[in-house]
Structure 1
Amino acid sequence: SDVITRTATKRINWNSYKINQNSDKVGVFVSIVSTKIPFKGAGKEYIGDDIDEMVAACKQAIMQCALQLKSKITRVQAAREQRNRKKALEKYIPNAASAIFTVLDGMVGNAARGPKRVKLESSTTLLRDVKLGQVLEEHLEKKLHE
Protein backbone atom coordinates (compact mmCIF):
# COMPACT_ATOMS: atom_id res chain seq x y z
CA SER A 1 0.00 0.00 0.00
CA ASP A 2 3.06 2.25 -0.25
CA VAL A 3 2.88 5.00 -2.90
CA ILE A 4 6.17 4.01 -4.53
CA THR A 5 5.43 0.28 -4.57
CA ARG A 6 2.00 0.75 -6.08
CA THR A 7 3.24 3.25 -8.63
CA ALA A 8 6.16 1.08 -9.72
CA THR A 9 4.21 -2.17 -9.93
CA LYS A 10 0.72 -1.13 -11.00
CA ARG A 11 0.74 2.29 -12.65
CA ILE A 12 3.70 2.01 -15.02
CA ASN A 13 3.67 -0.09 -18.17
CA TRP A 14 7.21 -1.51 -18.01
CA ASN A 15 6.83 -3.27 -21.38
CA SER A 16 6.91 0.09 -23.14
CA TYR A 17 10.40 0.58 -21.67
CA LYS A 18 11.63 -2.84 -22.88
CA ILE A 19 11.60 -4.21 -19.34
CA ASN A 20 9.90 -7.50 -18.55
CA GLN A 21 8.52 -7.07 -15.06
CA ASN A 22 8.53 -10.83 -14.37
CA SER A 23 12.05 -11.76 -15.52
CA ASP A 24 14.13 -8.56 -15.40
CA LYS A 25 15.41 -7.43 -12.05
CA VAL A 26 14.88 -3.70 -11.65
CA GLY A 27 15.17 -1.94 -8.31
CA VAL A 28 13.33 1.34 -7.79
CA PHE A 29 14.61 3.56 -4.98
CA VAL A 30 12.87 6.87 -4.33
CA SER A 31 13.73 9.46 -1.72
CA ILE A 32 10.88 11.72 -0.69
CA VAL A 33 11.95 14.77 1.29
CA SER A 34 9.42 17.09 2.87
CA THR A 35 8.37 18.50 6.22
CA LYS A 36 4.86 17.09 5.81
CA ILE A 37 5.10 13.51 4.56
CA PRO A 38 1.76 11.66 4.84
CA PHE A 39 2.99 8.53 6.64
CA LYS A 40 0.46 5.77 7.19
CA GLY A 41 0.68 4.02 10.50
CA ALA A 42 2.45 4.96 13.70
CA GLY A 43 5.78 3.38 12.72
CA LYS A 44 6.32 5.71 9.74
CA GLU A 45 7.18 2.65 7.63
CA TYR A 46 5.37 3.60 4.46
CA ILE A 47 3.81 6.58 2.73
CA GLY A 48 0.16 6.44 1.76
CA ASP A 49 -0.84 6.58 -1.89
CA ASP A 50 -4.00 8.60 -1.41
CA ILE A 51 -2.46 11.98 -2.33
CA ASP A 52 -2.73 12.48 -6.09
CA GLU A 53 0.08 15.03 -6.37
CA MET A 54 2.55 12.66 -4.75
CA VAL A 55 1.41 9.76 -6.94
CA ALA A 56 1.80 11.88 -10.08
CA ALA A 57 5.25 13.14 -9.04
CA CYS A 58 6.50 9.63 -8.21
CA LYS A 59 5.10 8.22 -11.45
CA GLN A 60 6.69 11.00 -13.52
CA ALA A 61 10.08 10.54 -11.84
CA ILE A 62 10.06 6.77 -12.31
CA MET A 63 8.97 7.13 -15.95
CA GLN A 64 11.83 9.56 -16.68
CA CYS A 65 14.35 7.13 -15.18
CA ALA A 66 12.77 4.24 -17.10
CA LEU A 67 13.07 6.23 -20.33
CA GLN A 68 16.80 6.70 -19.76
CA LEU A 69 17.13 3.01 -18.97
CA LYS A 70 15.23 2.14 -22.15
CA SER A 71 17.73 4.05 -24.30
CA LYS A 72 20.61 2.18 -22.69
CA ILE A 73 18.85 -1.18 -23.10
CA THR A 74 18.13 -0.37 -26.75
CA ARG A 75 21.79 0.50 -27.43
CA VAL A 76 22.99 -2.72 -25.78
CA GLN A 77 20.46 -4.81 -27.72
CA ALA A 78 21.40 -3.12 -31.01
CA ALA A 79 25.10 -3.76 -30.39
CA ARG A 80 24.39 -7.41 -29.52
CA GLU A 81 22.28 -7.85 -32.67
CA GLN A 82 25.00 -6.23 -34.78
CA ARG A 83 27.62 -8.62 -33.36
CA ASN A 84 25.35 -11.61 -33.99
CA ARG A 85 24.60 -10.46 -37.54
CA LYS A 86 28.30 -9.95 -38.27
CA LYS A 87 29.16 -13.35 -36.80
CA ALA A 88 26.47 -15.02 -38.92
CA LEU A 89 27.65 -13.29 -42.11
CA GLU A 90 31.32 -14.07 -41.48
CA LYS A 91 30.54 -17.77 -41.89
CA TYR A 92 29.80 -17.17 -45.57
CA ILE A 93 32.79 -14.96 -46.41
CA PRO A 94 35.02 -17.76 -47.80
CA ASN A 95 32.22 -19.02 -50.06
CA ALA A 96 31.32 -15.50 -51.21
CA ALA A 97 34.96 -14.59 -51.91
CA SER A 98 35.41 -17.80 -53.89
CA ALA A 99 32.26 -17.17 -55.93
CA ILE A 100 33.20 -13.55 -56.64
CA PHE A 101 36.71 -14.51 -57.66
CA THR A 102 35.37 -17.27 -59.93
CA VAL A 103 33.07 -14.78 -61.67
CA LEU A 104 35.88 -12.22 -62.05
CA ASP A 105 38.27 -14.87 -63.32
CA GLY A 106 35.66 -16.00 -65.83
CA MET A 107 35.15 -12.42 -66.98
CA VAL A 108 38.90 -12.03 -67.51
CA GLY A 109 38.99 -15.19 -69.62
CA ASN A 110 36.18 -14.05 -71.92
CA ALA A 111 36.55 -11.19 -74.34
CA ALA A 112 34.44 -8.10 -73.75
CA ARG A 113 31.22 -8.28 -75.76
CA GLY A 114 28.59 -5.63 -75.50
CA PRO A 115 28.61 -1.98 -74.47
CA LYS A 116 28.09 -2.56 -70.74
CA ARG A 117 31.05 -4.90 -70.48
CA VAL A 118 33.31 -2.57 -72.48
CA LYS A 119 32.26 0.33 -70.25
CA LEU A 120 32.89 -1.78 -67.13
CA GLU A 121 36.38 -2.75 -68.24
CA SER A 122 37.26 0.83 -69.15
CA SER A 123 35.93 2.35 -65.93
CA THR A 124 37.41 -0.07 -63.40
CA THR A 125 40.83 -1.57 -62.88
CA LEU A 126 39.56 -4.60 -61.00
CA LEU A 127 39.45 -6.91 -64.02
CA ARG A 128 42.90 -5.76 -65.09
CA ASP A 129 44.24 -6.44 -61.59
CA VAL A 130 42.69 -9.92 -61.60
CA LYS A 131 44.24 -10.60 -65.00
CA LEU A 132 47.68 -9.52 -63.75
CA GLY A 133 47.33 -11.61 -60.59
CA GLN A 134 47.30 -8.61 -58.26
CA VAL A 135 43.88 -9.51 -56.87
CA LEU A 136 43.57 -12.97 -55.40
CA GLU A 137 40.79 -14.79 -53.63
CA GLU A 138 42.56 -14.13 -50.31
CA HIS A 139 42.48 -10.38 -50.99
CA LEU A 140 38.74 -10.50 -51.59
CA GLU A 141 38.23 -12.51 -48.41
CA LYS A 142 40.29 -10.00 -46.42
CA LYS A 143 38.28 -7.07 -47.80
CA LEU A 144 35.00 -8.82 -46.99
CA HIS A 145 36.14 -9.29 -43.39
CA GLU A 146 36.63 -5.51 -43.02
Structure 2
Amino acid sequence: MTQPAIASAEEARDVIRTLDETIAALAEVLEEEDRLVRAGRLSEVARLSQAKNGHARRYLADSLRLRDSLPRLRGELGGEMDRVKERHAAFQDRLQRNLAALATAHAVSEGIVRGVAGELTRTAAPQTYGASGRTPIPDPRHARPLAVSRSL
Protein backbone atom coordinates (compact mmCIF):
# COMPACT_ATOMS: atom_id res chain seq x y z
CA MET A 1 0.00 0.00 0.00
CA THR A 2 1.43 3.35 -1.05
CA GLN A 3 1.39 6.04 1.59
CA PRO A 4 0.21 9.54 0.71
CA ALA A 5 2.79 12.14 -0.23
CA ILE A 6 3.95 14.55 2.45
CA ALA A 7 1.92 17.73 2.08
CA SER A 8 3.78 20.25 4.26
CA ALA A 9 7.10 20.97 5.92
CA GLU A 10 5.50 20.32 9.32
CA GLU A 11 4.32 16.89 8.21
CA ALA A 12 7.82 16.24 6.86
CA ARG A 13 9.27 17.13 10.27
CA ASP A 14 6.85 14.65 11.87
CA VAL A 15 7.98 11.96 9.43
CA ILE A 16 11.62 12.82 10.21
CA ARG A 17 10.93 12.49 13.96
CA THR A 18 9.24 9.15 13.39
CA LEU A 19 12.10 8.04 11.16
CA ASP A 20 14.62 8.98 13.89
CA GLU A 21 12.63 6.98 16.46
CA THR A 22 12.44 4.01 14.10
CA ILE A 23 16.20 4.15 13.44
CA ALA A 24 16.86 4.22 17.20
CA ALA A 25 14.52 1.26 17.81
CA LEU A 26 16.00 -0.71 14.92
CA ALA A 27 19.54 0.04 16.13
CA GLU A 28 18.60 -1.38 19.56
CA VAL A 29 17.34 -4.58 17.94
CA LEU A 30 20.53 -4.83 15.86
CA GLU A 31 22.69 -4.37 18.97
CA GLU A 32 20.77 -7.12 20.78
CA GLU A 33 21.06 -9.38 17.74
CA ASP A 34 24.82 -8.77 17.52
CA ARG A 35 25.19 -9.47 21.25
CA LEU A 36 23.32 -12.77 20.94
CA VAL A 37 25.30 -13.83 17.86
CA ARG A 38 28.62 -13.08 19.62
CA ALA A 39 27.43 -15.10 22.61
CA GLY A 40 26.53 -18.01 20.32
CA ARG A 41 22.86 -17.90 21.33
CA LEU A 42 21.56 -18.21 17.78
CA SER A 43 18.23 -19.75 18.77
CA GLU A 44 17.40 -16.52 20.62
CA VAL A 45 18.19 -14.40 17.57
CA ALA A 46 15.08 -15.73 15.83
CA ARG A 47 12.78 -14.16 18.43
CA LEU A 48 14.01 -10.71 17.36
CA SER A 49 12.95 -11.15 13.73
CA GLN A 50 9.37 -9.93 14.18
CA ALA A 51 10.44 -6.69 15.87
CA LYS A 52 13.30 -6.22 13.39
CA ASN A 53 10.98 -6.73 10.40
CA GLY A 54 8.37 -4.31 11.79
CA HIS A 55 10.94 -1.56 12.38
CA ALA A 56 12.49 -2.20 8.95
CA ARG A 57 9.10 -1.85 7.24
CA ARG A 58 8.43 1.45 9.02
CA TYR A 59 11.94 2.68 8.18
CA LEU A 60 11.50 1.85 4.51
CA ALA A 61 8.01 3.38 4.29
CA ASP A 62 9.04 6.64 5.97
CA SER A 63 12.28 6.86 3.98
CA LEU A 64 10.42 6.43 0.71
CA ARG A 65 7.77 8.98 1.68
CA LEU A 66 10.45 11.49 2.56
CA ARG A 67 12.48 10.76 -0.56
CA ASP A 68 9.45 11.13 -2.84
CA SER A 69 8.49 14.48 -1.27
CA LEU A 70 12.02 15.84 -1.08
CA PRO A 71 12.13 17.81 -4.36
CA ARG A 72 9.04 19.77 -3.37
CA LEU A 73 10.04 20.39 0.27
CA ARG A 74 13.83 20.86 0.04
CA GLY A 75 13.63 24.65 0.31
CA GLU A 76 11.31 24.59 3.33
CA LEU A 77 13.33 22.01 5.27
CA GLY A 78 16.73 23.60 4.77
CA GLY A 79 19.54 21.94 6.72
CA GLU A 80 17.23 19.35 8.26
CA MET A 81 17.58 17.18 5.17
CA ASP A 82 21.37 17.24 5.46
CA ARG A 83 21.08 16.01 9.05
CA VAL A 84 18.64 13.27 7.95
CA LYS A 85 21.11 12.16 5.27
CA GLU A 86 23.92 12.03 7.86
CA ARG A 87 21.82 9.92 10.24
CA HIS A 88 20.79 7.69 7.35
CA ALA A 89 24.44 7.18 6.31
CA ALA A 90 25.47 6.38 9.90
CA PHE A 91 22.61 3.90 10.17
CA GLN A 92 23.62 2.27 6.88
CA ASP A 93 27.14 1.77 8.29
CA ARG A 94 25.64 0.19 11.41
CA LEU A 95 23.45 -2.06 9.27
CA GLN A 96 26.47 -3.19 7.23
CA ARG A 97 28.29 -4.22 10.42
CA ASN A 98 25.23 -6.23 11.50
CA LEU A 99 25.01 -7.95 8.12
CA ALA A 100 28.72 -8.80 8.26
CA ALA A 101 28.31 -10.34 11.73
CA LEU A 102 25.34 -12.42 10.57
CA ALA A 103 27.19 -13.55 7.43
CA THR A 104 30.19 -14.59 9.53
CA ALA A 105 27.98 -16.57 11.92
CA HIS A 106 26.29 -18.24 8.95
CA ALA A 107 29.63 -19.15 7.35
CA VAL A 108 30.99 -20.58 10.60
CA SER A 109 27.81 -22.61 11.17
CA GLU A 110 27.87 -23.92 7.63
CA GLY A 111 31.54 -24.85 7.95
CA ILE A 112 30.85 -26.81 11.12
CA VAL A 113 27.94 -28.70 9.57
CA ARG A 114 29.94 -29.46 6.41
CA GLY A 115 32.87 -30.66 8.54
CA VAL A 116 30.64 -32.97 10.57
CA ALA A 117 28.99 -34.32 7.42
CA GLY A 118 32.39 -34.92 5.81
CA GLU A 119 33.69 -36.71 8.88
CA LEU A 120 30.59 -38.92 9.01
CA THR A 121 31.07 -39.79 5.34
CA ARG A 122 34.78 -40.49 5.86
CA THR A 123 34.20 -42.79 8.81
CA ALA A 124 31.39 -44.64 7.01
CA ALA A 125 33.60 -45.44 4.01
CA PRO A 126 35.60 -48.67 4.04
CA GLN A 127 39.14 -48.08 5.29
CA THR A 128 41.10 -49.67 2.44
CA TYR A 129 43.91 -48.70 0.11
CA GLY A 130 43.42 -48.12 -3.57
CA ALA A 131 45.61 -49.24 -6.48
CA SER A 132 47.86 -46.22 -5.95
CA GLY A 133 48.52 -47.16 -2.34
CA ARG A 134 46.43 -44.30 -1.00
CA THR A 135 43.05 -44.29 0.62
CA PRO A 136 40.41 -43.44 -1.97
CA ILE A 137 38.11 -40.45 -1.83
CA PRO A 138 34.95 -41.48 0.03
CA ASP A 139 32.20 -42.68 -2.28
CA PRO A 140 28.98 -40.64 -1.95
CA ARG A 141 27.08 -43.95 -1.71
CA HIS A 142 28.57 -44.37 1.76
CA ALA A 143 27.39 -40.98 2.95
CA ARG A 144 25.26 -40.96 6.06
CA PRO A 145 22.38 -38.55 6.41
CA LEU A 146 22.89 -35.70 8.81
CA ALA A 147 20.00 -34.33 10.86
CA VAL A 148 20.21 -30.95 12.56
CA SER A 149 17.89 -29.93 15.36
CA ARG A 150 17.05 -26.23 15.22
CA SER A 151 15.36 -26.30 18.61
CA LEU A 152 18.56 -26.53 20.65
Q: Shared topology, TM-score over 0.5?
A: no
More helix by share: 2
Structure 1 length-normalised TM:
0.39
Structure 2 length-normalised TM:
0.38
